[in-house]
Amino acid sequence: MIAASGASAAGADRGIGSVRAVTSPNQPSGPASGELEPGVLDLLGVLCYGQLVAFERIAADAALAPTIPDREAIAAMAVTEFALHERLRAYLVERGLDPLELQAPFVAPLAAFHDSTRPADWLEGLVKVVVGDAITRDFYREVASTVGEESTRETLLSVLGESAATEWATERIRRAIAEEPVVGGRLALWARRLVGEALVQAQRVAVDRDALTALLVGGVGDIAAIGRLLVRLADAHTLRMEALGLDA
């Protein structure tokens, strides 16, 4: 996931700071939106839109799968992503926030990121879910854990704790490598590219969005702690690569 830069990012920050409340006669009353910090609003927005994009991307990848069972399994992963998007969107509405306004700053940047990491085939699409999406999710889970407001923190961690990278996807990649070992080298290179892009772009969100930077640094404590965070991300990535039978 990536963020807007330059003047567009500054303008988006101003927009987030003045997010409109959504009201309707049938909407349940909830805590005022003003209780949430700008960085938390950014986090909710990027994750809500990110789940929608993940649904669209994974659903499109299903058409590339070689068998009907494979297509069904990938489609099921896409459905899971959309359900998570709906959960976050519903939470925003319950808080009296405008989901469209919160997601808007991330539309173009996320499109650019995914266009630059478009898989060449269905196996690369699975690796993108298991490796690329997972390390991005790990990063945002670290950020979400610093959120002080309990209900929002629990909602974020609940969404980030669920993964479309099922055991089936990992096993299917391993089977493909066993059937055609040369595939392993190609997928390992692809995975390394994905994790590099994902980490750079996830960090850029926190850097370009001042409110998110404040949320992360304020929650973690100092630069040394951020260094330890990156080590944890790298360790989790290595474990995923080993599970896939790929060299990290």
Identify the pLDDT of residue 30: 39
Place of tokens 């889970």: 141
97 strand-pairing partners:
21
Domain boundary assignment for the chain: 6-244
Residue 242: exposure state from Cβ atoms within 10 A (0-12, 13-18, ≥19): exposed
Q: Say which CATH class 6-244 falls into.
A: mainly alpha
Q: Which helix (H) or strand (E) holds 247?
A: none
In order along its 248 residues, the chain shows pLDDT tens digits of 433 333 333 333 333 333 444 433 344 333 444 478 888 999 999 999 999 999 999 999 999 999 999 999 999 999 999 999 999 999 999 999 999 999 998 887 788 788 888 999 999 999 999 988 888 888 889 889 889 889 999 999 999 986 766 788 999 999 999 999 999 999 999 999 988 887 777 666 666 777 777 777 766 656 677 778 888 888 988 999 999 988 87
Q: Which amino acid is at 118?
A: R
Spatial separation of the C-alpha atoms in residues 70 and 238, rounded to whole Å: 26
What pLDDT was estimated at residue 2?
A: 36
pTM: 0.79
pLDDT at 220: 61
pLDDT of 35 reads 78
Q: Could you tell me if 2 and 205 are in contact, meaning their C-beta atoms sit under 8 angstroms apart?
A: yes
Q: Find where tokens 């519903």 sit.
A: 90
- Please state, in angstroms and rounded to a whole number, the distance separating the CA atoms of residues 204 and 1: 9
Q: What is the pLDDT of residue 226?
A: 72
